[in-house]
A and B are shown apart, each in its own frame.
Chain A
Amino acid sequence: MLSSSIFRHKVAPLASTKAVSLRQAWLKYRVEFRQEGRIVPEDFWALKGINLEVGKGQIVGLIGENGAGKTSLLKLVAGMLAPDKGSVEVNGTVSALMEIGAGLQHDLTGRENIYLVSSLFGLTKAQVDERFEDIVRFTEIGKFIDAPVKIYSQGMYMRLAFAIAIHVHPDILLLDDMFVVGDVYAQHKCVQKIFELKDQGMTILFALQDLEMLKRICSRGVFLREGVIIKDGPIDAVCSYYMETVGSREGIGIVQKDPLGVIFNNGKLIVRWNNQTITCNLGGHSSMRIAGREYLSTAAEWQVQKAGPGGDIIAVGRWPDVPVRQQWKIRVLSEKEFLWDITVQPQERVPLEKIDVRTFLADAYKSWFTLQEEKDFPDVFLHITQGNCPIIDDSVGGMVGARGAGTVPTVVFEQQRSNGRTVCQAGNTGSEIHGRFIQHRPSLSDQDTGCADGACTSFVSRVMLFDPAQEHQVQEYLGRLAHSRQESAVIRKGPLALYCRDHRVDLYWQDIPLTREMGLNTKFKCQDRDYDAGMWAKWDVSKKSETEIDIRVTWDELPCLAQTWRLSLPSDDTVSWQVETSSANPVKLRQKQVELVLADGYEGWFTAEEQGDFEMLEKKGSGVVLNRYINTHMGVKCAGSSEAAFLPTVLFSQEDAVPRASFFSKRQDQESSTALRYLEAARQESMYSPSGISAYFAGKIQIGQSVQYPMGQPAGRPQLRTPDLRLKKMSVAFDHGKGRFFWKKAELTKGLGMYASVFSAGMWYDSSQAFWEPVEQDRNRLKVVGHWCWVPMTQRWEISLLDAETIEWKIERRAWDNFLPEREQVNIMLSDTYRAWVVPGQRQEQFPAGFKEHNGAFWDRQWDKTGAFPIGLEKCRVQKRLWSRYWLPSVTFACPEHCRVRCSAIENTDNLFRARLLQYELEPAGKDQAYFTGRIKIGI
């Protein structure tokens, strides 16, 4: 019998090795909630995008809590249900044991049931006759075969159902939680039989709660949670992962950044590396002693307030019998390190005597080390935890690590707490746990002991894992650590600390490292070469006072030029950063940039008028520019309430009145990071640094959970959102290099609207990328000037309404500094509601239906001809609803004869813009200036 019963359920010949293949399978149920007599239907997705391939002869165990979607998945495979989206392909016959009892009829005898059920499985009477003896022999129910099954014991019942199902001899057997009943012997028999079937090459899918049973039978495990495959792999790994993540759902948070996985489970911290758990038993946990009693973190009730796949875990634990809370913040910095922060928050005055933060490591770890020494863990595991373990002196590096054998990564705990000292111990656990432990006991200051309300941070550790195959990384790290502990200039104020060393400025806030890579950087272009303050520059760090540091940056290749960075901490939440350039003779600097590189993990960005989150960005890849507008302030923040956020809001603002474009990007170089960058607009007057000292940048960085964006319109930001020109039915708006016009209320333009683009040296520069300033505006006329940031070019636009049907558009372009525009275009992107184009007096045609794929290069050209021709779109009627319709007016774009237009063209854009395009390509005008005048006529 074939498995399928449904049209959408395909039974296609798969590659012979695949028995089952699900691709992006979604399944939904409509649940009808009955609330006070009303029926409220709600869709519930039982399976969400399942991708699963099962090879022939594989035995796969589905693991998951009740309602995770196991049965739904089996029903899809059986073909009883069809996926709402995606596809299911099954190669072979299927027999399923979906419900306890499996269709046995209570009133019928065992014998009758064998015939009935077998025939429902699709066997003919002859086939059943043939297998009857086997079935009866397997069930071992003797004369009860002729008794009604309602008198059977659970074990007999289960064996009978199982026996019938397997004697159908399917290619694929589906078993849904069938071992919940039945005695040990019955189970044993079934397991035995399953092994036989496995040897015969039957593919079996199991859904089972009993993990031990699964481990015995299956080779592969698939862990489902809420309709999603969380883990798919060898059964042992999947089972252990499942075990680590079961518990009160509110107290679990998981962050996975392969190969590192960090699981917070109700007061336990479990660390995984390449699907291998490197902690054991309780993992990382804390133990407080209050009034002589120990309070383990695992005994608390935990509530995970926030947990994201890329972000951090913030959890709060409360003990029922003591008025103390603990807040754990776990933040995965990269795929090999995370921060672990435990804060004790007494709700009232309690005698806190000590707090230990212990990490139980797997016994594969063989030795521990600090900056000074390395010692082996003892060989024996005593009965009682700890005993007399050595106290480790980690005072030099503030670091202790453990190294193991085989595939376990070297793990390092680096203390981030700058004041106070922790007492560190390492040793073996008791024999029942059979692992190693590393324990930190932060010293409690006077205010901590018996501390009243308010928080006392107790423990912040940066945990790093190093691939065992790359021992040199550990050595490099240790070298760097030793180096940095010796030679950095530090300034502090309140929660802020700034470490400056060679090529690196590290900014700490409440002992959390905020910056990545270099921290602060400047970049510019001089004599056609790119320079930055990175490895090729020389740094000279000098500490001026307790809150001021000067850094002098010089370049070997640019002996005439030097930069001086003045970093200071004027207040508890502000870093001031001023950059000056000093040069012996005038130099020309282009693309002047300053950059602040922050930790990855910021979720949202904001500027004066906009805000958004980075999620959109990350999908596109690293380093994508988010925002190209001129801003004086740019900031990043974490989502959620500011108190729960682990990273403080950072606002990076410029204080000099220089127009700069602000950029946000997410990077994934050596470390993941969030970069905030200012790029100065290329204005002629600012490109020269005269000899002597000139300002390069002046700004400040404000840090704190309560940093607010300064209200009001910042200076330097053009107010060009809606400077409407309006005449009768027509109106025009200018929006950051995009001209948009409207007829009545309907916008005729689309996408980039009226825009100009310039091509030079392999790049297109669109007017929407420039920084625009208003020059003049009256009722019918608008003048604006745009500066490009990357190239030395300006455009001056004049848009005027000549009459109620004509827009005049003048463009004057200037370039200097040997910048050569190779091609220049003037474009109007129009709504795709238009269906036909026209070249008056020459041609008229329909646009093709649909748009071509975006291919990055060319759009779908409909018509072109050398010379300046009027080009336009035919008016069209729009049926808005059945009873209302209106006309979109025809649009004609023309330019006077004297305009130097090389080519006129009409195009369809790609499927991203989905718009019609009218285009004039101008004659190459030489490098300095170019003019264009065009008229847009609009009318029915």
Chain B
Amino acid sequence: MSFGERLQKLVGQRQIIKSLAVKNIHDKYVGSALGVSWAIINPLLIMLAVTFVFGQIMKTEVRYFSLMVLSALLPWTFFLNSISESATAMVANASVLRQFVMLKEAIPLSVVAANFLNFTFGFAVVMPIFIICNPVIIRVLILLPVIICLHLIFTLGVSLLLSVAAVYFKDLPQLLNTSIMFLFWLTPIFYSLEMIPARYHWLILTNPSSCYVLIYRDLLYHGYGGRLDLWLLAVCFAAASLVGGYLVFLKGEHAVLKHI
């Protein structure tokens, strides 16, 4: 089966991916009274919390600090949830894999799809707030879908890689849990790049998430088109992640059923 045939087949199985994604969302909110509305309520609550803590208690001088945080936190949460769920997805969906004949890409794809849906709901809600508080961003809003697209590709690649790697290395989900804290603080979410000494910038910029987060922030908070080097990095990271992740996935996927 060539690569082209495989992709063709994957498209043919979009029904399955869709069903799995729906099942994923369904599982997430099963039994909860508010259901899918949590996807909207979550970012709003975060915004309130950040405004309260940093506005009233910490008293930062940054204007609309909560918006600055939120512009980075939402994409980050999407990335974080996608990869950490992907790392356990194969095992969690073992019964589905054992029963149904499908391309195994469907599992990480459905996880990313479900999280992406969540992300877009949340984003749709906070979007008006961004615009109202800072109308200047409208002129660069056209770039928003582009960065979302790149970010999605990047997340997808990492998810593919982790989903299959976690099958073979059972320690991976644990490792991920701890290293995520590092990643979180190495990513300029609760601070901006300007707040840290210039000699540490490289440390931040080598973290792929940072460059996406910084672009999101430039677009949504500063109303600025973003640094060209960051954009280039974002494209490169997305391409490398997808190609590398998929190659690893193809190498490992055939024995997945034996290990879950």
Instruction: Answer yes or no: B222 CB below 8 A from chain A CBs.
Output: no
Taking a contact as CB atoms under 8 Å apart, the answer to whether B20 and A120 are in contact is yes
**B contact patch SS:** helix
B106 to chain A, nearest CB (A): 9
Contacts of B97 in A (CB 8 A): 80
Taking a contact as CB atoms under 8 Å apart, the answer to whether B1 and A7 are in contact is yes
Instruction: Answer yes or no: A103 CB below 8 A from chain B CBs.
Output: yes
Complex: A7 Cα to B5 Cα, angstroms: 10
Taking a contact as CB atoms under 8 Å apart, the answer to whether B254 and A116 are in contact is no
Per-position 1/0 for A56-93, Cβ under 8 A of B? 00000000000000000001001111100000000000
Complex: A121 Cα to B19 Cα, angstroms: 10
Taking a contact as CB atoms under 8 Å apart, the answer to whether B98 and A80 are in contact is yes
Contacts of B77 in A (CB 8 A): none
B175 to chain A, nearest CB (A): 17
Closest to A79 in B: B101
Complex: A911 Cα to B7 Cα, angstroms: 43
Known: A5-B104, A120-B20. A99 touches B95 (CB 8 A): yes
Instruction: Answer yes or no: A219 CB below 8 A from chain B CBs.
Output: no
Taking a contact as CB atoms under 8 Å apart, the answer to whether B18 and A29 are in contact is no
Instruction: Answer yes or no: B23 CB below 8 A from chain A CBs.
Output: yes
Complex: A9 Cα to B5 Cα, angstroms: 13
Contacts of B100 in A (CB 8 A): 96, 103, 120-121
Contacts of A81 in B (CB 8 A): 254-255, 257-258
Instruction: Answer yes or no: B197 CB below 8 A from chain A CBs.
Output: no
B224 to chain A, nearest CB (A): 44
Instruction: Answer yes or no: A3 CB below 8 A from chain B CBs.
Output: yes
Contacts of B254 in A (CB 8 A): 6-8, 81-82
A162 to chain B, nearest CB (A): 13
Complex: A810 Cα to B6 Cα, angstroms: 69
Instruction: Answer yes or no: B145 CB below 8 A from chain A CBs.
Output: no
A83 to chain B, nearest CB (A): 10
Instruction: Answer yes or no: B53 CB below 8 A from chain A CBs.
Output: no
B6 to chain A, nearest CB (A): 8
Taking a contact as CB atoms under 8 Å apart, the answer to whether A120 and B258 are in contact is no
Taking a contact as CB atoms under 8 Å apart, the answer to whether A119 and B19 are in contact is yes
A612 to chain B, nearest CB (A): 39
Closest to B20 in A: A120
Known: A7-B1, A81-B257, A81-B258. A124 touches B15 (CB 8 A): yes
Instruction: Answer yes or no: B99 CB below 8 A from chain A CBs.
Output: yes
In chain A, positions 4-45 with a C-beta closer than 8 Å to chain B are 4-11, 29-30
A94 to chain B, nearest CB (A): 6
Instruction: Answer yes or no: A639 CB below 8 A from chain B CBs.
Output: no
Q: Which of B6, B30, B102 contacts A107 (CB 8 A)?
A: B30
Taking a contact as CB atoms under 8 Å apart, the answer to whether B15 and A122 are in contact is yes
In chain A, positions 93-127 with a C-beta closer than 8 Å to chain B are 94-99, 101-103, 105, 107-108, 115-116, 119-124
Taking a contact as CB atoms under 8 Å apart, the answer to whether B23 and A5 are in contact is no
Complex: A29 Cα to B259 Cα, angstroms: 8
Q: Which of B16, B23, B99, B258 contacts A99 (CB 8 A)?
A: B99
In chain B, positions 74-124 with a C-beta closer than 8 Å to chain A are 95-104
Total interface residues on A, CB under 8 Å, equals: 39
Taking a contact as CB atoms under 8 Å apart, the answer to whether B253 and A6 are in contact is yes
Instruction: Answer yes or no: A322 CB below 8 A from chain B CBs.
Output: no
Known: A103-B96, A116-B23, A120-B20. A29 touches B258 (CB 8 A): yes
Instruction: Answer yes or no: A715 CB below 8 A from chain B CBs.
Output: no
In chain A, positions 806-861 with a C-beta closer than 8 Å to chain B are none
Contacts of B30 in A (CB 8 A): 107
Instruction: Answer yes or no: B12 CB below 8 A from chain A CBs.
Output: yes
Instruction: Answer yes or no: B42 CB below 8 A from chain A CBs.
Output: no
Known: A1-B13, A103-B95. A96 touches B101 (CB 8 A): yes
Instruction: Answer yes or no: A541 CB below 8 A from chain B CBs.
Output: no
Instruction: Answer yes or no: B59 CB below 8 A from chain A CBs.
Output: no
Instruction: Answer yes or no: B9 CB below 8 A from chain A CBs.
Output: yes
Taking a contact as CB atoms under 8 Å apart, the answer to whether A123 and B101 are in contact is no
Taking a contact as CB atoms under 8 Å apart, the answer to whether A78 and B19 are in contact is no
Complex: A30 Cα to B258 Cα, angstroms: 8
Contacts of B96 in A (CB 8 A): 103, 120
Known: A80-B257, A82-B254, A107-B30. A3 touches B99 (CB 8 A): no
Instruction: Answer yes or no: B129 CB below 8 A from chain A CBs.
Output: no
Instruction: Answer yes or no: A2 CB below 8 A from chain B CBs.
Output: yes
Taking a contact as CB atoms under 8 Å apart, the answer to whether A105 and B258 are in contact is no
Closest to A120 in B: B100
Contacts of B20 in A (CB 8 A): 120
Closest to A105 in B: B23
Taking a contact as CB atoms under 8 Å apart, the answer to whether B101 and A80 are in contact is yes
Taking a contact as CB atoms under 8 Å apart, the answer to whether B16 and A122 are in contact is yes
Closest to B1 in A: A7
Instruction: Answer yes or no: B250 CB below 8 A from chain A CBs.
Output: yes
Complex: A123 Cα to B102 Cα, angstroms: 12
Closest to B105 in A: A5
Taking a contact as CB atoms under 8 Å apart, the answer to whether A94 and B257 are in contact is no
Taking a contact as CB atoms under 8 Å apart, the answer to whether B101 and A78 are in contact is yes
Contacts of A29 in B (CB 8 A): 258
Complex: A29 Cα to B255 Cα, angstroms: 9
B126 to chain A, nearest CB (A): 31
Closest to B250 in A: A7
Complex: A333 Cα to B154 Cα, angstroms: 71
Taking a contact as CB atoms under 8 Å apart, the answer to whether A1 and B12 are in contact is yes
Contacts of B102 in A (CB 8 A): 5, 120, 122
In chain A, positions 150-192 with a C-beta closer than 8 Å to chain B are none
Complex: A99 Cα to B30 Cα, angstroms: 24
Contacts of A102 in B (CB 8 A): 99
Taking a contact as CB atoms under 8 Å apart, the answer to whether A5 and B103 are in contact is yes
Complex: A350 Cα to B82 Cα, angstroms: 77
Complex: A851 Cα to B97 Cα, angstroms: 47
Contacts of B104 in A (CB 8 A): 5
In chain A, positions 720-734 with a C-beta closer than 8 Å to chain B are none
Contacts of B255 in A (CB 8 A): 81-82
Contacts of B101 in A (CB 8 A): 1, 3-5, 78-80, 94-96, 122
Complex: A3 Cα to B103 Cα, angstroms: 10
Complex: A3 Cα to B102 Cα, angstroms: 8
Complex: A79 Cα to B98 Cα, angstroms: 11
Contacts of A95 in B (CB 8 A): 101
Complex: A97 Cα to B95 Cα, angstroms: 12
Contacts of B23 in A (CB 8 A): 105, 116
Complex: A101 Cα to B98 Cα, angstroms: 11
Complex: A888 Cα to B56 Cα, angstroms: 85
Taking a contact as CB atoms under 8 Å apart, the answer to whether B19 and A2 are in contact is no
Residue of B16, B30, B97, B250 with most chain A CB atoms under a 10 A cut-off: B16
Contacts of B98 in A (CB 8 A): 75, 80, 98-99
A85 to chain B, nearest CB (A): 13
Residue of A78, A97, A120, A122 with most chain B CB atoms under a 10 A cut-off: A120
Contacts of A79 in B (CB 8 A): 101
Contacts of A121 in B (CB 8 A): 100
Complex: A124 Cα to B13 Cα, angstroms: 10
B9 to chain A, nearest CB (A): 7
Complex: A30 Cα to B259 Cα, angstroms: 8
Taking a contact as CB atoms under 8 Å apart, the answer to whether A116 and B95 are in contact is no
Contacts of B6 in A (CB 8 A): 7
Complex: A115 Cα to B16 Cα, angstroms: 11
Contacts of B257 in A (CB 8 A): 75, 80-81
Contacts of A99 in B (CB 8 A): 95, 98-99
A172 to chain B, nearest CB (A): 11
Known: A5-B102, A120-B19. 15 other contacts (CB 8 A): A2-B9, A4-B1, A4-B101, A7-B254, A78-B101, A80-B101, A81-B258, A103-B99, A103-B100, A105-B23, A108-B26, A119-B15, A119-B18, A119-B19, A120-B96
The 7 lowest CB-CB distance pairs between A and B, nearest first, are A119-B19, A103-B99, A82-B254, A120-B100, A5-B103, A6-B254, A7-B1
26 sampled A-B residue pairs with Cβ under 8 A:
A2-B9, A5-B9, A5-B101, A5-B104, A6-B1, A7-B1, A7-B6, A7-B254, A11-B1, A29-B258, A30-B259, A79-B101, A81-B255, A81-B257, A82-B254, A82-B255, A95-B101, A96-B99, A96-B100, A96-B101, A99-B99, A103-B96, A105-B23, A107-B30, A119-B15, A120-B20
